[in-house]
Amino acid sequence: MEREGYVSIWLGNFPDDSALMEYAAEDCVEYDEEDGSSIERPSQFSKDFFGGMIWAFDPDFWERAVVGSSSDIAELVSPFSYGDTFDVENIVLDRVYNAVILVYDYEYEPKENPASAPVDFIAAVPYKNLDL
């Protein structure tokens, strides 16, 4: 659910940015001008964690990238906007990750991670928007 001042964090492992972007692509709706119909095309990320809902969160407030491999969450999120302000000091990872998906001003309500998903939901934590 939308919640200002929170960031939801998913971590995974991908061979490169293009593989991550294919998984966590921009959701879209394609319109057929002839008959006025539309086809929703949610990303696999949206299917895995948001039931296939098109833009369950504001598409202007998310980031994703492959970063260096680490089991230190602070190191993984530090390259991102506001990453140094994320309240992650009490999060201990039990494995190494190289990719990060962040949804800002959204507190994801965790469900069981789908077994087939290449990312794990880690936490929704407070952050400070330094632009305000």
- Tell me the C-alpha distance between 23 and 66, whole Å: 12
Whole-model pTM: value is 0.90
Greater pLDDT, 86 or 39: 86
In this predicted structure, the answer to whether residue 48 has a pLDDT above a threshold of 70 is yes
Output the pLDDT for position 30.
76
In this predicted structure, the answer to whether residue 71 has a pLDDT above a threshold of 60 is yes
Output the pLDDT for position 110.
83
Greater pLDDT, 40 or 85: 85
Kindly indicate the confidence band of residue 41, based on its pLDDT and cuts at 50, 70 and 90: confident
77 close to 88: Cβ distance less than 8 angstroms: yes
Output the pLDDT for position 34.
80
